Amino acid sequence: MKTHLQFLLSLMAVVMLSTLSCNAGNAGNGDWDIVITKNNNWRVENIKISTNGDIEFNEDYTDVKAMSDDAYIKISMVSFGMKRKLYIRSDEGTINYLYYEGSKEVDFEPKGRAWMKKMLPDIVRNSGIDLENRVNKIYKKSGVTGFLKELQETDSDYYRSRMVKYLLKNNSLNKSELQSLLREFPYRINSDYELSQIYKKYNPIFIQDPEISAEFFNSLEEISSNYELSQVLKSVYKLNELNEENFTHFIDAMGDISSSYEKSNLMKMALADDKLTNAQMNKLLSEVEELSSNYEKSQIIKSIIKNEGLSSGNVDKIIELTESVSSDYEMGQIINSMIREEMISKSNLNEFTELLGNISSNYTYKGILDQLIEYEQLGEDRFDFLLKASDEISSSYELSKFYKSLLMKGNLNKKQQLTLISKSENISSNYELASFLLIAAHEMNLDDEEIKDALIKATQGISSEYEYGKVMKAIYSKGK
């Protein structure tokens, strides 16, 4: 990340360096009107540049080499109260120079030329004039070393960013050159936006070689904006087929994003392809725990659950991650998704039971048990598991509703019905106990004396004469 010193330098740059207002593109293709305000040894300089027509500079940008008909370049500067102006124009193939100090015209030779040679390279460098052509010339003459030197001497993040893009656009850099570039340019551009513009478009150039790729992902630490970093990583994922190593770099870089929203969007994008290997899935799962938002974490876990071919290790990790979700509602949503995808089995039932113990809401907990009533994966142990799990329901209303659902949907045998009747003593509310026993009297075979006696015994837990009378009437009137 940016150091404190880099931040201060960036802030100073915003205040003191360049304020630009321009029309058209490169110099020589239309009109440019540019204003640069900069600090030079704590002396403020205001420079205005206007250009028109095609302008060709000499090799070191200390003079104009050629101009199209009626082309011109005007440079005016106010520095510490001193005003200077240079006007270069083409007149029927001849280049004319006019130089002013204050409002007075001064002979161009030698003072005007000396000032031009001193100022013109820096003005061109920080105005974007002839930028693409200049980048190509510097690279052809001095390679990446010369380019990086020029990049360092350029004040504007905007133009630095464009310079790097022109270099990558027009030239095929070898491995050594790419490494040199990566080790320098990200630390020269303070603007997250400008830096991300390079990375978003040209990241495939840096992904192919393992060594360069590692340096590329490390350099992403220079982007402090969650949004810009997430945009870069989205581009990386979309424009490249990431191998195991690069996917690991991708997930590690994602760890620098503190926004759960931005991070979860990246995860959803990766999961949407449904092409992650088991190792990549494990790597992604390791990052899910870092999401601070229960909602975003829940959304990602549910997306993962929908993926086909999850290993038992993946499932164990999902159960572990779900324990870190503090919202009963979100945890319930995840568990219900796990049940729908038949991820719960005898092999992970202990871990699943521990997970259920984290839910404090009777409503959510009961809803999960309802989902398991007809869940075939638990086999013959299903009824015993559900009945034991129901002991955690403290609400008589929810417990009564669950017992009713278990009775109606559970396809219970006689032994299980008798066990359920005896369990009804856990219902402390007269109304709710009577409500369950009324359903039981209606659904069970009261011609069986053992069941009938068990129901009658259960009514002894009802202290309300009114509720007791309703249940007893139902028991004795059935079949008459």
pLDDT in tens, 263-291: 999 999 888 877 788 888 888 888 898 88
- The average confidence (pLDDT) of the chain is 88
Domain boundaries, the chain: 4-126, 130-232
Residues 216 and 191: their CA atoms lie apart, in Å, by 17
More confident residue, 8 or 246: 246
* Secondary structure (3-state) at 277: coil
List, in sequence order, the alpha helices (H) in 171-225. Answer: 175-182, 192-207, 210-219
d(CA 83, CA 71): 24
Contacts for 253 with CB less than 8 Å, ≥ 6 apart: 217, 220, 229, 233
Hey, how many other C-beta atoms are within 10 angstroms of the C-beta on 227?
15
- Residue at token pair 């930028």: 131
Alpha carbon 74 to its chain centroid, in Å, reads 47
What is the distance, to the nearest Å, from the Cα of residue 196 to the centroid of all Cα atoms in its chain? 14
Own/partner contacts of 282-285, CB < 8 Å, gap of 24 or more, are 282/313, 282/314, 282/317, 283/247, 283/248, 283/251, 284/251, 285/314, 285/317, 285/318, 285/321
Quote the pTM value: 0.73
Question: Over 70: is that where the pLDDT of 39 sits?
Answer: no
Cα 116 from Cα 62, distance rounded (Å)? 7
Mean pLDDT of all residues in 48-77: 91
The reported pLDDT for the residue numbered 33 is: 74
The C-alpha atoms of residue 416 and residue 314 are separated, in whole angstroms, by 35
Tokens encoding 400: 């009564």
| CA–CA–CA angle 282, 287, 291 (5° rounding) | 140
Q: In what order do the strands lie in the sheet with 72-79?
A: 31-40, 43-52, 72-79, 82-91, 94-101, 104-106
Let me know how long the chain is. Answer: 480
* 101-132 residue pLDDT tens: 998 999 999 999 999 999 999 888 888 889 99
What's the rounded Cα separation, in Å, for the pair 202 and 120?
31
pLDDT of residue 112: 94
User: How confident is the model at residue 308, as a pLDDT?
Assistant: 78
pLDDT of residue 38: 66
Q: Which residues contact 114 (CB under 8 A, 6 or more apart)?
A: none
Cα 79 to Cα 44: distance, rounded to the nearest angstrom: 6
Q: Is 320 helix (H, G, I), strand (E, B) or coil?
A: helix
Distance CA 162, CA 26 (A): 12
**Residue predicted with more confidence, 285 or 6:** 285
Round to whole Å and give the CA distance between 115 and 198: 35
Cβ partners under 8 Å of residue 367, min gap 6: 332, 336
DSSP H or E segment with residue 190? none
State the average pLDDT over residues 22-43: 56
Residue of 99, 103, 70 whose CA lies nearest to 87: 99
Contact between residue 239 and residue 203 where contact means Cβ atoms under 8 Å apart? yes
Predicted confidence (pLDDT) at residue 3 exceeds the cutoff of 50: no
pLDDT at 24: 35
Which residue, among 242, 259, 172, 3, has the nearest Cα to 216 in the 3D structure? 242
pLDDT of the residue at 31? 62
Task: Give the integer Cα–Cα distance in Å for 23 and 189.
Answer: 24
Backbone φ, ψ for residue 38 (5° rounding): -145, 160
| Residue bearing the bigger pLDDT, 43 or 326 | 326
- pLDDT over 70 (residue 384): yes
Mean pLDDT (whole number) for 66-79: 90
Which of 223, 268, 377 is CA-nearest to residue 315?
377
Between the two ends of the chain, the Cα-to-Cα distance in Å is 83
Q: CB-based contacts of 410: which residues, under 8 Å, 6+ apart? A: 373, 374, 383, 386, 416
Where residue 306 falls among pLDDT bands split at 50, 70, 90? confident
- For residue 325, report the phi and psi dihedrals to the nearest 5 degrees: -85, 115
- Using one digit for the tens of pLDDT, what is the confidence trace for 167-196? 999 999 999 999 999 999 999 999 999 999
What average pLDDT does range 209-215 have in this prediction?
A: 95
**With contact defined as beta carbons under 8 Å apart, do 221 and 230 qualify?**
no
- Which percentage of the chain shows pLDDT scores above 70? 91
CA dihedral (285, 286, 292, 293) in degrees, to 10, reads 0
148 burial (CB, 10 Å; 0-12 / 13-18 / 19+) is buried
Per the DSSP assignment, residues forming a β-bridge with 31 are: 52
Q: How confident is the model at residue 13 (pLDDT cuts 50, 70, 90)?
A: very low
Number of helices followed by number of strands (H, E) in the chain? 22, 8
Peptide bond into 110 cis (omega under 30): yes
Q: Taking the CA atoms of 139, 141, 142 and 148 in sequence, report the sign of the dihedral they define.
A: negative
